[in-house]
Amino acid sequence: MPQFFSNKRLILLLVGVIVLVALIFFSLRDRDHANLPEQIVKDVVGFGQQLFSKPAHYITDLIDDVDSLLNTYEENQRLRERLVEYAAVQAELSDVRKENERLKDIVGKEDDLRDFEPIHASVLARNPDQWEEKIVIDRGETHGIEKNMAVMTSQGLIGKVILTTPFTSTVQLLATQDPAYRVSALVVGKTEAFGLIEGYDTERRELILRRIDASFEIKEGQKVISSGLGGIFPKGLLIGEITEVTTDDFGLTKQAHIKPAADFAMLEHVIVAKRKSTEVDGSDAGNTDEAKDKTADGGKDGDGS
């Protein structure tokens, strides 16, 4: 008798396995419609999922909304603090500008090294053989563009005009390999240090600032701007940020690598700086600029010699 029950359980197990395999095979077939048992199971499971998922999603969304509200409140507080700081800076800047105007009236000085008239232009082309050196813009002599005018983007200085036609101009970038191309620069800090942008490190994609007096203390992270000397570039145009400082072979001067503020590879819209302080009437204008350039930087063309 026990043997019979044992055989009966074995038979039921085999029948169950056969039924299970049949159901699996049946469910795996390619069918356009589910059968009635499958429909009932799917509907019941789907109803249960909706019954539990909707409240869960509601609670989750509510928690997210509360979290976003708290973050918005904290961000609003930070923005208010920044707004107060911004208002203070604006007031200070306004006061400094007024004081600067009063001082200029006292000394009878009408122009400033920072003054320039912006002329907006778009990049028309780049020379594939000199991709990092020259671009062509859609503004020329008829738009007031002249040779040696500084060119920049919203991020910072990129170069100067070297050739003009009535409707286009060619701009030589700071990333040029021309050894005679120089830009008079100023390291911003507690003590200002002058130097010359001479050369471009193609591997590091960084400018090289040379001829810095060894007595000046400069370090990584300091900003570098145009000095305004030389009669070409207005003062205060951002050039980049110092990434490394070294000394020359004789230890008399320092040099620094500068990460450019502007992206030379992505140039679409540029601004040409028509410097007001170098405008001279008559045929001596070019000679005056050239004399300023030689005096300031000791080169042939000063900022861009």
Domains of the chain by residue range: 36-110, 157-161+172-304
pLDDT score recorded for residue 241: 92
CATH 2.40.10.350 fits 157-161+172-304, yes or no: yes
The first and second tokens of residue 15, run together, are 């029948």
pLDDT class of 108 with cuts at 50, 70, 90: low
pLDDT higher than threshold 60 for residue 204: yes
pLDDT class of 298 with cuts at 50, 70, 90: very low
Residue indicated by tokens 């008079």: 184
Which residue in 97, 86, 265 sits closest to 174, CA to CA? 265
Of all residues in the chain, what percent carry a pLDDT higher than 70?
A: 74
- Residue, of 294 and 52, whose pLDDT is higher: 52
Neighbours of 27 (CB within 10 A): 11
pLDDT class of 257 with cuts at 50, 70, 90: very high
CB 145 within 8 Å of CB 272 = yes
Residues 6+ apart with CB under 8 A from 202: 132, 177
Task: Give the span between the Cα atoms of 117 and 134, in whole angstroms.
Answer: 23
pLDDT score recorded for residue 6: 57
- Residue, of 111 and 32, whose pLDDT is higher: 32
Between the alpha carbon of residue 203 and those of residues 190, 200, 206, 268, 290, the distances in Å are: 31, 9, 8, 24, 34
